[in-house]
Amino acid sequence: MKPFDISAVLGVATPRIRVAAVGAMFIQEGDEPQDALMAKGLCEVIGFEPVREECDKLNARYGPTHRYLPLVIGDGRSRTFHRTNAPMTSSLYAPNDAVLRRFSQLPEYTQVVARSTVETTRLDDVPEIGDVDLIKIDVQGAELDVFRGAARALRDAVVVHTEVAFVPLYENQPLFGEVDIALREAGFLFHRFDGEPHGRAFRPLVSSKGPVAPISQLLWADAIYTRDFTRLAELSPRKRLALATLLHESYQSYDLSAYALHVQDKVTGSDLWAPYLTRLTGAPPPERLED
């Protein structure tokens, strides 16, 4: 496969991707799926970060195409926000100490230092949200709360990138299976994990790969969901191109990106699939794709 800029195939039809980033705290450069799009000027971001000082850092770091609001996104109810000693582990859910203390390098970063009552805001009630293509969520256990308040945003989106947990690191948090059901009901299918799932060793053992690596137990992962690929013909032409662009630029999912372009050609009469595969493989495709 030969990486290339998808705009070389899409030309002026290359869509500008709109991203809703819920839990947008900056960790490190290149850590977010939209970073590749940002580098090419192909996206704008509306982000939400409840820790005010972290939100201020984000607004200071990025330019006018990015806006970050200090809102707690959820299902619209009043909740207790648990601020921890490591801001990235703060959550609407209390850390589950009975589980966390069994693992290395987890209790040290999940100590609650303050609690406050907050009013959560439904994503659908944020006027700035607009028509989003990618929903990126990192909210430490509150993913299902966000989805419950985002029916309209989920109807618009073509990719959802969300953290999921396999064991309850926070008290009463919904786990991977529940999140998967909610997203499938919203018209998405699981695509793949982004990178390797994360885990830790049970104390007192430590993995030979380091203290933050698992020996066997997986705990959480970033999961990528895309619009149901059996129903791509139901999307608008722009949304199919947005899906293809995100898959190509952010996730290097070239095969599904190519399939989205095949559906685009079939529905609209465009000619994108064959040029895309030619650039990708260095050779023209042997034949047209049949459904």
Q: Token pair of 277, please?
A: 């595969």
Structural element, H or E, at residue 259: helix 254-268
Distances (CA, A) of 255 to 108, 244, 258, 260, 273: 41, 10, 5, 9, 11
DSSP line for 2-70: ----THHHHGGGPPPEEEEEES----STT-STTHHHHHTT-EEEEEE-SSHHHHHHHHHHS-TTEEEE-
DSSP line for 120-133: -EEGGG-GGG-S-S
Q: How many C-beta neighbours within 10 Å does residue 165 have?
A: 21
Query: Tens of pLDDT along the chain (291 residues)?
Result: 778 999 999 999 999 999 999 987 766 555 788 888 888 888 999 999 887 888 888 888 877 778 888 899 999 999 999 999 998 899 999 999 999 999 988 999 999 999 999 999 999 999 888 899 999 999 999 999 999 999 999 999 999 999 999 999 999 999 999 999 999 999 999 999 999 999 999 999 999 999 999 999 999 999 999 999 999 999 999 999 999 999 999 999 999 999 999 999 999 999 999 999 999 999 888 777 776
Q: What is the DSSP letter of 202?
A: B
Burial 78-114 (b: 16+ CB within 10 A, else e): ebebbebeeebbbbbbbbbeebbeebbebeeebeeee
d(CA 162, CA 165): 10
d(CA 104, CA 108): 9
Domains, the chain: 7-281 (3.40.50)
